[in-house]
Chain A
Amino acid sequence: MSARLSHFFVTIVRAAGNRLVELAIVMVSVATMVFVLLRVVPGDPVLILGGLDTLDRAVIESAREQMGLDRSMLEQYVIWLGNMAIGDFGQSLRSGAPVSQLIGNALPPTLQLGIMALVIGIALSIPLGVAAARRAGTATDAGITTFSIIGISTPPFVIALALIYLFAVHLRLLPVAGYVPFDEDPLENLRHMALPALTLGLVTAGVLVRIMRRSVIDELGEDYVRTARSKGVAESRVVYGHAVRNAALPFVTIAGIEAGVLLSGAIITETIFAIPGLGRLMIDNINQRDYPVVQGAVLAVAFIYVLINAFVDALYRVLDPRIRTRLAS
């Protein structure tokens, strides 16, 4: 197992290397698109900040100049890219706080929410998906599939409100909303994160249950499963040791995509539960047309996407020896 584990880390490092070029391309493309889109959208940050009628023209112009908004779009773009290359993401137009600091503050709650939701989603979907696959066509299967469809088709905000009503309002077990940093009070942090994580976890589980069910059904029909049975291996080991291990390949791919989807799902969930994360940061500053902050936040999300992809790739190599051999040769 340790050989496998060290191999895992080697492949992660190698995959990360391969991904660096890809990362650069993705980041520049995303940066360009965000930059252009923000400036095409109507609405002037200076007017929004100052109130529409109160300021006279001279004040507006000087504010523009100060923020660099009087330059041409191309000039702004080049300056911004140049600054980013040396690690300077700019300052908020409103507060003047460095964008890197705002993102640094918003990242922990979002990452915590995403990881918790993913863990809940995976922890629910493996046993449920396997159970449904083993009893395909029975009432158990129908029940689990129904749960899955509800999870997929219900908007996250409806799930969130239902959970708030049940656990916060009715049972009074958990707080309605809010956020406490983990290093301040771990227990309160978890109590506040429980409902948002469960909301996104249920949505994720809905998708992953379907994938796990379908994959295990497919794998159970494979010849190697029959071979395992012919050896006299107990059925639970046939299912978990053989079929689920092969079903892990498609499952990991979809789980990686879902991890990315969670980031966008986090926008709504963070807003409902008043969590000061990346999603909230983006929404607030889009409304304020605070260009540097939105640009920085979007780039942070894109960066996380690329990292997740690289991780899934590395995991795939660990899980499937055929891919390992193909890449090694």
Chain B
Amino acid sequence: MADVETNPPALAVHDLRVGVGPSGRQSVVVDGVSFTVPAGGRLALVGESGSGKSMTAMAIAGLLPGRFRILSGDIKLAGETIDPMARSMTRRRGRDVSVVFQDPMSALNPVMTIGAQLIEAIRVDTAVSRKAARKRAIELLEEVQIARAAERLNAYPHEFSGGMRQRVMIAIALANRPRVLIADEPTTALDVTTQVQILRLIDDLCRLEGAALLLITHDIGLVEGLCDDICVLYGGRVMERGPVASVISQPGHPYSNGLISAIPPLDEDVPWLEPIAGEPAAAAHLGKGPACPFAPRCPMVKQVCHTDRPDLQPIGPYVDAACHFASAQPGHRVNTS
């Protein structure tokens, strides 16, 4: 991964496992995920639906849905181990770790004004007066480039477009200058032109506030130029992780390669994008048996893949991959045949 820092990383996740269902009979949806985001760094968690990327993010923020729970693992925020499911996590949320959610249409309370929701976030921290909180709310709306901020405080979410709601969500998430910002598919629900603006906004504001960014996305094409490091998940396990530039230009894992081959290039006409064969593995089938989770869909599958689960191992400078044949990957982006 990136250079060794003298101060502790903003976020360090070690061997995180998340399960769903009654204890004893859980299915494991996140199975031994580890990664590190340095202070002010940017890491992308990439994978298809069901890869466990969102559950990893929600586990860190302590916002797992009802039947999900953390089975084991160690999560450190700025060097300090936290228990995201503990009651004490409440006071870390918004301050140590904040979240921008996928769907801005439903993420805001429909019966509260934008201002009330923003001010609520601001006043969670210390004793901010009502007046000071209002002033800060206007500042924040200006920071996320919402025009006529002062009067917009009285607007309700349904009076805003999707892009504007996501801007408000970003303002809420950054209200207390969090150490780590988790952006969970922040642009998936938005149209393409808005996507670019929102990503740029997240990029700028994280830099401005010095927040580390954990970007969750299924779109590996968004990651280039935005994140320093990438961590590719499949079936709840890390397939490959390393600096974005190396992984994208020279994917070490056949799954990363498949994801990259599915990005439409901007500068040439491609008659056919290569999809990854088959369906993403269902969570219920994971964590059982010693096979590589990607084996059923892998174009390079060999006998050993069905009998031995490959561990993450270094395959290049700062790059780790979990594949028996990792080094054998060709570094092409698009299959033009």
| A contacts, CB < 8 Å to B | 221-224, 226-235, 241-242, 245-246, 249, 319-322, 325
Contact of A321 among B111, B117, B120, B176 (CB under 8 A): B111
- Is B12 part of the binding interface, using a Cβ–Cβ cutoff of 8 Å? no
Establish whether residues A222 and B106, one from each chain, have CB atoms under 8 Å apart when the complex forms.
Answer: yes
Nearest chain A CB to B121's CB is how many angstroms away? Answer: 4
Establish whether residues B101 and A227, one from each chain, have CB atoms under 8 Å apart when the complex forms.
Answer: yes
Q: In the complex, which residue of chain A has the Cβ closest to the Cβ of B105?
A: A223
Given contacts A227-B101, A230-B98, A235-B90, whether A319 and B111 have CB atoms under 8 Å apart is yes
- Is B265 part of the binding interface, using a Cβ–Cβ cutoff of 8 Å? no
Interchain CA distance A65-B299 in the complex, whole Å: 101
Enumerate the 3 nearest inter-chain pairs by beta-carbon distance, A residue then B residue, closest first: A232-B94, A232-B93, A223-B106
Q: In the complex, which residue of chain B has the Cβ closest to the Cβ of A225?
A: B109
Establish whether residues B110 and A233, one from each chain, have CB atoms under 8 Å apart when the complex forms.
Answer: no
Given contacts A223-B101, A223-B103, A232-B90, whether A322 and B61 have CB atoms under 8 Å apart is no
Nearest chain B CB to A204's CB is how many angstroms away? Answer: 24
- Is B172 part of the binding interface, using a Cβ–Cβ cutoff of 8 Å? yes
B98 contact set on A, CB distance < 8 A: 230-231
| B contacts, CB < 8 Å to A | 61, 63, 65-66, 90-95, 98-99, 101, 103, 106-113, 117, 120-121, 124-125, 156, 158-159, 169, 172-173, 175-176
Nearest chain B CB to A236's CB is how many angstroms away? Answer: 11
B90 contact set on A, CB distance < 8 A: 229, 232-235
Establish whether residues B95 and A321, one from each chain, have CB atoms under 8 Å apart when the complex forms.
Answer: no
A234 contact set on B, CB distance < 8 A: 90
Given contacts A223-B103, A245-B111, whether A231 and B158 have CB atoms under 8 Å apart is no
- 5 new A-B contacts, CB < 8 A, other than A231-B120, A231-B124, A232-B95, are A227-B101, A233-B124, A242-B109, A246-B109, A321-B158
Query: Could you name 13 residue pairs across A and B whose Cβ atoms are closer than 8 Å?
Result: A223-B107, A224-B110, A229-B63, A229-B93, A230-B98, A230-B173, A231-B93, A232-B125, A234-B90, A235-B90, A246-B111, A321-B111, A322-B156
Q: In the complex, which residue of chain A has the Cβ closest to the Cβ of B66?
A: A221
Interchain CA distance A45-B120 in the complex, whole Å: 67
A246 contact set on B, CB distance < 8 A: 109-111
Interface of chain A, helix or strand or loop or mixed? Answer: helix
Q: In the complex, which residue of chain B has the Cβ closest to the Cβ of A242?
A: B109
Interchain CA distance A197-B124 in the complex, whole Å: 42
Contact of A232 among B66, B109, B113, B176 (CB under 8 A): B176
B108 contact set on A, CB distance < 8 A: 224, 227
Interchain CA distance A222-B111 in the complex, whole Å: 13
Given contacts A245-B111, A246-B109, whether A226 and B159 have CB atoms under 8 Å apart is no
B173 contact set on A, CB distance < 8 A: 230
Nearest chain B CB to A217's CB is how many angstroms away? Answer: 10
Given contacts A223-B101, A224-B107, A242-B109, whether A230 and B158 have CB atoms under 8 Å apart is no
Q: In the complex, which residue of chain A has the Cβ closest to the Cβ of B118?
A: A231
B63 contact set on A, CB distance < 8 A: 226, 229-230
Establish whether residues A231 and B107, one from each chain, have CB atoms under 8 Å apart when the complex forms.
Answer: no
Contact of B111 among A227, A230, A320 (CB under 8 A): A320
Contact of B124 among A221, A232, A242, A325 (CB under 8 A): A232
Q: In the complex, which residue of chain B has the Cβ closest to the Cβ of A321?
A: B156
Interchain CA distance A235-B91 in the complex, whole Å: 11
A228 contact set on B, CB distance < 8 A: 109, 120
Establish whether residues B93 and A230, one from each chain, have CB atoms under 8 Å apart when the complex forms.
Answer: yes
Interchain CA distance A228-B159 in the complex, whole Å: 20
Nearest chain B CB to A261's CB is how many angstroms away? Answer: 27
Interchain CA distance A232-B122 in the complex, whole Å: 10
Nearest chain A CB to B114's CB is how many angstroms away? Answer: 11
Interchain CA distance A321-B108 in the complex, whole Å: 13
Nearest chain A CB to B188's CB is how many angstroms away? Answer: 13
Establish whether residues B101 and A232, one from each chain, have CB atoms under 8 Å apart when the complex forms.
Answer: no
Interchain CA distance A226-B172 in the complex, whole Å: 13
Nearest chain A CB to B280's CB is how many angstroms away? Answer: 23
A235 contact set on B, CB distance < 8 A: 90
Establish whether residues A325 and B61, one from each chain, have CB atoms under 8 Å apart when the complex forms.
Answer: no
Nearest chain A CB to B49's CB is how many angstroms away? Answer: 17
Interchain CA distance A227-B98 in the complex, whole Å: 10
A322 contact set on B, CB distance < 8 A: 110, 156, 158
A227 contact set on B, CB distance < 8 A: 99, 101, 107-109, 117, 169, 172
Nearest chain A CB to B276's CB is how many angstroms away? Answer: 29
Interchain CA distance A228-B66 in the complex, whole Å: 16
Nearest chain B CB to A174's CB is how many angstroms away? Answer: 41
Establish whether residues A231 and B111, one from each chain, have CB atoms under 8 Å apart when the complex forms.
Answer: no
- The CB with the most chain B CB atoms within 10 A, among A229, A231, A321, is that of A231
Nearest chain A CB to B44's CB is how many angstroms away? Answer: 20
Interchain CA distance A315-B94 in the complex, whole Å: 34
Nearest chain A CB to B186's CB is how many angstroms away? Answer: 13
B113 contact set on A, CB distance < 8 A: 321
A223 contact set on B, CB distance < 8 A: 101, 103, 106-107
Establish whether residues A231 and B94, one from each chain, have CB atoms under 8 Å apart when the complex forms.
Answer: yes
Establish whether residues A321 and B94, one from each chain, have CB atoms under 8 Å apart when the complex forms.
Answer: no
Interchain CA distance A300-B107 in the complex, whole Å: 46
